[in-house]
Amino acid sequence: MDAENEPKVWYVSLSLSKDLTLLWIKQIKDILWYCCEFLEQLKPEILQDSRLITLYLTMLVTFTDTSTWKILRGKGENLQAAMNHICANIMGHLNQHGFYSVLQVLLTRGLARPRPCLSQGTLTAAFSLALHPVIAAQFSDNLIRPFLIHIMSVPTLVTHLRTATPEHLTVLESHDMLRKFIMFLRDRDQCRDICESLEGCHTMCLMGNLLQLGSLSPRVLEEETNGFVSLLTHMLCYCQKYVSQKKSNLTHWHPVLVWFSQSVDYGLNESMSLITKQLQFLWGNVLPVKSLLKRAFQKSASVQNILRPVGGKRVDSAEVQQVCNICVLYQTSLTTLTQIRLQILTENAKGETMELFQSVHGWLMVLYERDCRRRFAPEDHWLRKDLKPSVLFQELDKDRKRAQLILQYIPHVIPHKNMPEALVLLLLLRLRLLHAGDCQQPTQCGIQKCITDFVSLTLHLNSAIDGFDSEFCKALLCLRRLNPINFKNLPVATWYTILLC
């Protein structure tokens, strides 16, 4: 092929002979498949093997793409269409025998490790070979499916492409591949077929590559948000089927999914840190999914309007459905990606001060207050069965912040019969803290702060105190009516009597 001006010695010249064309095609198919079989056995981290990998990939690229054939230049241009057809036939033969599986093994061995061992040229050749049949077939579903299963599921493939060969990402964008992936996977049956072919761990790898690809194409995601959210939810639900709550003889430790009922490849563990970074695009600022959720919760009035039967948005409206689907996506993420749950919830923010917490907490309180007025939730729906009152009281007695935050933000998760005791414990704790210094008696200022904090804590418990003991409610309301300005006029003994009655 490289001999200058010597067409007679070029191997491709044999295909131009009518007597030898069919034999040449059969021979080149056999030779290229032998190359594939060797590629499947070689290890790219070994120097000698890496040289052989380069040789075999060069053979595959040369005889499946006519762009480098010198025999087609000049007078041979009229043979271009026929030779392209022969190359397509050769590539179809390789695909039928498992060509994409070979490329998957090669890419996984070279990329699923802390430091990739595939050179830029090798990665370029392998990805070009994978993408060429899909483009040649005009993005047929029959080729998009194996491309997703075998190529896009390679751990952190998009990350390495962006680092080593960003021009291939440009090719993907120019052919609008992300949109085609979304259109293919938004169909529930096709998405389930892909997930079942990949199993849980590699489904997560595919999801990570799609998320990073989406972060590079925000315009496409703006237009295909519903389909993108739907396919991500389906994939997470599939992974969730294999997540176990406890360790057992049938489970394996997974760095993201915790206890997993399927075995985890060593290569996946090696590249899990990069996979986690890809998954972070799900709740990052780049994707439009987060901005849509943020816009929906920006004004408290909009939350109220969503829940109003008259005025505001109908439940079946497109806007409300979109917000609900995004909420389902994040809820599924929290229950599936359990090991990185805190990253999803907090990002770089501090717990109760973050915007998302404040927004969702406001919506939760709207739902709870409506349920108190006219019940629509099942009995004991708001209670947390895993929250034992005895443990809560111990936490309060030890001045643990999380116990105080429960009383401050979600007191409805505590049974009514235990709420008075919890509040009294909190008051006694704060009085006890006033004695922590050298003073034998609490100061007027300290008592004033204690009462002010308690009143502010209970201001939003109007619905939660329904059913309390009448004497406790009466004392609580009396405390609320007290004017903080007059605190200094009351003697300390009076405050003790009020607080400890």
Instruction: Supply the pLDDT for residue 182.
Output: 94
| Structure confidence at residue 489 (pLDDT) | 44
- Highest mean pLDDT (candidates 231-240, 302-311, 315-324): 231-240
Phi, psi of 26 (to 5 degrees): -65, -40
**Residue 495: is its pLDDT beyond 50?**
no
Q: Give the pLDDT mean for 348-358.
A: 63
Q: How does residue 496 score in pLDDT terms, banded at 50, 70 and 90?
A: very low
Query: What is the C-alpha separation between 408 and 418, in angstroms, rounded?
Result: 15
Q: Which residue has the tokens 């972060």?
A: 215
- In 3D, which of 70, 153, 78 has the Cα closest to residue 111? 153
Lowest mean pLDDT among 7-21, 128-142, 470-484: 470-484
450-494 pLDDT per residue, tens: 555 555 555 445 544 554 444 455 455 555 454 444 444 444 444
Average pLDDT along the chain? 76
Is pLDDT at 28 greater than 70 in this prediction?
yes
Count other C-beta atoms under 10 Å from residue 246's C-beta.
7
The token duo for 477 is: 């309301």
Q: Is the pLDDT of residue 133 over 80?
A: yes
pLDDT confidence of residue 125 = 93
CA-to-CA dists, residue 278 to 34, 274, 395, angstroms: 36, 6, 37
Average pLDDT over every residue of 338-353: 67
The rounded distance, in Å, linking the Cα atoms of 9 and 53 is 26
How far from the centroid of its chain's Cα atoms is residue 207's Cα? 7
Take residue 256 and report the two structure tokens written for it.
């993201």
pLDDT per position as a tens digit, 48-98:
999 999 999 999 998 888 877 777 666 666 777 888 888 888 999 999 999
- Concatenated DSSP letters for 123-150? HHHHHHHHHHHHHHTTS-HHHHHHIIII
Q: What is the mean pLDDT of residues 377-405?
A: 82
Backbone angles phi, psi at 405, to 5 degrees: -65, -35
pTM, rounded to two decimals: 0.69
Percentage of residues of the chain with pLDDT beyond 70: 67
Strand, helix or coil for residue 243 = strand
